[in-house]
A and B are shown apart, each in its own frame.
Chain A
């Protein structure tokens, strides 16, 4: 299982606003898939998935702001449970 963090995408700010998740919990995801869309001080862009597996848990919901470096989701194998 892997904790997915919000990458540092902004030019001047570490804040990113999550617009939308393209997958829901339980979906199978692949490295390189667009996983969610975010808005930063610089642009609107997609964050790509960094691992193969199942999207076990979305920690940071759509329409919330998070700081770069925060865990936003967990991806793992069938049967694994994300931490609370």
Chain B
């Protein structure tokens, strides 16, 4: 074994902590086989020296992120074994009330992020938490644990580079146990020296024997000191071995007995205990006592878990666990009001004013994105950020690498760490790069944490076809309506832009904001731009989250539409008014939470509904609205609900081709006239 010994108490404490983890894992495994524990288990017997060696150097205020194999990390960072065992038993007294289980152990109050079971998932979140720790002026750090398999994920590259670029206090800890499930690391990786990758990012790195707690402590102490002192991230690679299978029912047929014997001889607990005795640090008796103390704490934890109550099923549905600001029933807003000429603004201006005022009001608010603050740069893809970096500084208007996973991961992490974040994507099409961060982390961390975390992040995404072809045109808003835990805002006018964006920024939950390129009214006019200028009050104001806006009242049919289709609908309504037909036009504004009250009240009155959006027809948000209205208002409807949308074809570049795919005003008119011509209830009366 290498490195200095620690004092008697510290040495015995480290030994006891390793025994505690080993015993926790063993007992959990055996109890699992007895059918007492639901689901599955991923265990870390053999890797205890890494968890204990690193975490024993951390403060409560430091954070860790972990993986699907998190038991050791969480216990070493201070999780009460009873709360941990009860959690994997799925009981009410578990650290997350049974919402997480074995793969998501954690407790934010102890600086343990509910562990992330997506391989590499924590590597983009950790830099964000570190951003918050740094901005708050602390010298606390984040330790990000992951396995060898994770270093071949894109998240590794984006996350490590991001932390390095911004000199963030993150210690990246790779537990290299040589296998990703059953696949040997060397079969899928040419350069198996993970530590050597540090050079690629310009950060210090080291490969260390992970079976030797003294070596682990020595290297971790150095790395943590580097991070604490503002010198940026470090990459540590610990060579280690899991004595058990990847998960339950893994008979380890892919490893040889010789290999297992080699690593068993390096057992971190046995070798450390022996060294304490041999080197005269502790007596055999003291080592035995420390061992039995560790085991005893687990037998207490086991009894607790076995006798703990199951959670009340009703709590699975608790809205305040799901959301920091749970959806409320709201009354729809009315048509836009007129105001003085000097307060008539475009959407781009309204968004800029909103961000400006909120930055001034809330020192914890940061903006992140590509090309947002570079002096002489773009000021965001559509110029929305112009002037903000000069006014608030480039540490609050942050120019990121072109790394969507890292931009959004860091925004989520910083929000978890106590900031409010507004990341920006130049085009909504790039959101698919970061689906994991959005869907698996932003949407789920609050729920998995049993309501202990809030994630106040607002992601801005420009949508819409504007003669840029298939990869700069899409409308992904419908995807996110399908994801519980994410709020979806669609901005179609300047007044709502200010009121709803202000509400979104002040909201405690992740909000995806979609803005249409042709509605911005930015200086550089796009072909097909629509003038959406409207009265916007000077001061920021918050409209209720989930509030739709009735843009025009009418009695004969309802159109629910967003973005360009909203303006087509308003134009059409004026045309039909000349024929004496009164159309009610509703901008839903929020797809999630959706203002069902306003839409249902309208359709009850009119009996006819057309939905229009530029998003593709199949599986577009209109399908959900149509299904729900058809179901709930069956007896009120005079005609079937009709949808008008982009055809199910990738957006072509050439203007005439693009127009052939996009919904046209004539399509909306045809749909509207077809429902106006029908009244199946009257037909039934006539037949009678």
Nearest-neighbor residue (CB-CB) of A44 within chain B: B251
Question: With a CB–CB cut-off of 8 A, which chain B residues contact A45?
Answer: 251
**Residue B340 interfacial (CB < 8 Å):** no
Chain B interface (Cβ within 8 Å of chain A)?
26-27, 30-31, 33-35, 249, 251, 253
**Which chain B residues lie closer than 8 Å to A61 at the CB level?**
none
What count of chain A residues pass the 8 Å CB interface test?
16
* Chain B residues closer than 8 Å to A11, beta-carbon distance: 249
Whether B249 pairs with A50 at a CB distance below 8 angstroms is no
Min Cβ gap B418→A in Å is 43
Please tell me if the beta carbons of A43 and B253 are within 8 angstroms of each other in the complex.
yes
Are A50 and B33 touching (Cβ within 8 A)?
yes
B-facing mask of A25-36, CB < 8 A → 1, else 0?
000000110000
Q: Are the CB atoms of A32 and B34 closer together than 8 Å? A: no
- 1/0 contact trace for A5-25 toward B, CB 8 Å? 101110100000000000000
4 closest A-B pairs (Cβ-Cβ)?
A: A7-B33, A50-B30, A43-B251, A50-B34
Least CB separation from B22: chain A residue: A32
Q: Please give the distance in Å from B361's CB to the nearest CB on chain A.
A: 58
User: In the assembly, what is the distance between CA of A50 and CA of B302, in Å?
Assistant: 12
14 other A-B residue contacts (CB within 8 Å) besides A9-B249, A49-B30? A4-B34, A7-B33, A7-B35, A8-B33, A8-B35, A9-B33, A31-B26, A32-B30, A43-B253, A45-B251, A50-B31, A50-B33, A50-B34, A69-B35
Nearest chain A CB to B480's CB is how many angstroms away?
A: 39
Whole-angstrom distance from the CB of B303 to the nearest CB of chain A?
12
A-B contact pairs, 5 of them (CB 8 A): A31-B27, A32-B30, A42-B251, A49-B30, A50-B30
Cβ distance A9 to chain B, nearest Cβ, rounded Å? 7
Docked CA distance A48–B33 (Å) = 10
Task: Evaluate contact between A32 and B251: CB separation under 8 angstroms.
Answer: no
Bound-complex Cα distance A47 to B33 (A): 9
> Chain B residues near A42 (CB, 8 Å)?
251
Q: A5-B34, A50-B33 are in contact. Are A32 and B26 (CB under 8 A)?
A: yes
Verify A31–B30 contact, CB threshold 8 A: yes
Residue of B nearest to A40 (CB): B251
Question: Which residues in A have some Cβ–Cβ distance to B below 8 Å?
Answer: 4-5, 7-9, 11, 31-32, 42-43, 45, 47-50, 69
A59 to chain B, nearest CB (A): 15
Tell me the number of A-to-B contacts counted with CB atoms below 8 Å.
Answer: 30
Q: Is the CB of B30 within 8 A of A48?
A: yes
Bound-complex Cα distance A5 to B344 (A): 75
A50 nearest in chain B by CB position? B30
Q: How far is the CB of A17 from the nearest CB of chain B, in Å?
A: 16
Give chain A residues whose Cβ lies under 8 Å from the Cβ of B33.
7-9, 47-48, 50
Contacts of B34 in A (CB 8 A): 4-5, 7, 50
A74 smallest CB distance to B (angstroms): 13
| Distance in Å: Cβ of A15 to nearest Cβ of chain B | 15
For A43, what are the chain B residues with a Cβ–Cβ distance below 8 Å?
251, 253
| CA gap between A2 and B216 in the complex, in Å | 40
Chain B residue with Cβ nearest A11 = B249
Q: Complex: how many Å from CA A69 to CA B249?
A: 15
A48 contact set on B, CB distance < 8 A: 30, 33
A43 to B249, CA, bound (A): 11
The answer for the CA separation of A84 and B34 in the assembled complex, in Å, is 21
In the complex, how many angstroms separate the beta carbon of B351 from the nearest chain A beta carbon? 57
- Distance, CA A47 to CA B249, complexed state (A): 12
Shortest C-beta distance, A52 to chain B (Å), equals 8
In the bound assembly, the distance between CA atoms of A32 and B33 in angstroms comes to 12
Q: How far, in whole Å, are A8 and B251 apart by their CA atoms in the complex?
A: 13
Minimum C-beta distance from A22 to chain B (A): 16
B249: chain A residues within 8 A (beta carbon): 8-9, 11
Cross-chain contact of B35 among A5, A9, A47, A49 (Cβ < 8 A): A5
Report the separation of the CA atoms of residues A75 and B26 in the bound assembly, to the nearest whole angstrom. 18
Report the minimal beta-carbon distance from A48 to chain B, rounded to whole angstroms.
Answer: 6
Q: Closest chain B residue to A32 by CB distance?
A: B26
Distance in Å: Cβ of B246 to nearest Cβ of chain A: 14
CB-defined contacts of A49 to chain B, threshold 8 Å: 30
Q: What residue of chain B has the Cβ atom nearest to residue A10's Cβ? A: B249
CA distance A50 to B33 in the complex (A): 9
Distance between Cα atoms of A48 and B251 in the complex (Å):
14
Residues of A within 8 Å of B253, CB to CB, are 43
Cα-based distance from A50 to B36 in the complex (angstroms): 12
**In the complex, A44→B249 CA distance in Å?**
13
CB neighbours (8 Å) of B31 from chain A are 50
**Residues of the B chain whose Cβ atoms lie less than 8 Å from the Cβ of A32:** 26, 30
Question: From residue B269, how far is it (CB to closest CB) to chain A in Å?
Answer: 13
B contact residues around A8 at 8 Å (CB): 33, 35, 249
Whose C-beta in chain B lies nearest to the C-beta of A49? B30
Residue on A with the closest CB to B26?
A32
Complex Cα gap A66–B518 (Å): 70
Q: How far is the CB of B27 from chain A (nearest CB, A)?
A: 7
> Who on chain B is nearest to A5 by CB?
B34
In the complex, which residues of chain A have a beta carbon less than 8 angstroms from the beta carbon of B30? 31-32, 48-50
Q: Nearest Cβ in chain B — how far from A65, in angstroms?
A: 18
What's the nearest-Cβ distance from chain A to residue B348, in Å?
60
| Cα–Cα distance between A42 and B245 once the two chains are bound (Å) | 15
B39 to chain A, nearest CB (A): 13
- Interchain CA distance A69-B253 in the complex, whole Å: 25
Complex Cα gap A58–B306 (Å):
24
How far, in whole Å, are A50 and B27 apart by their CA atoms in the complex?
Answer: 7
Complexed CA–CA distance, A31 and B30 (Å): 8
Inter-chain CA distance A48–B244, complex, in Å, is 13
Q: Which residues of B contact A31 (CB under 8 A)?
A: 26-27, 30
Complex: chain B residue closest to A51, CB-CB = B30
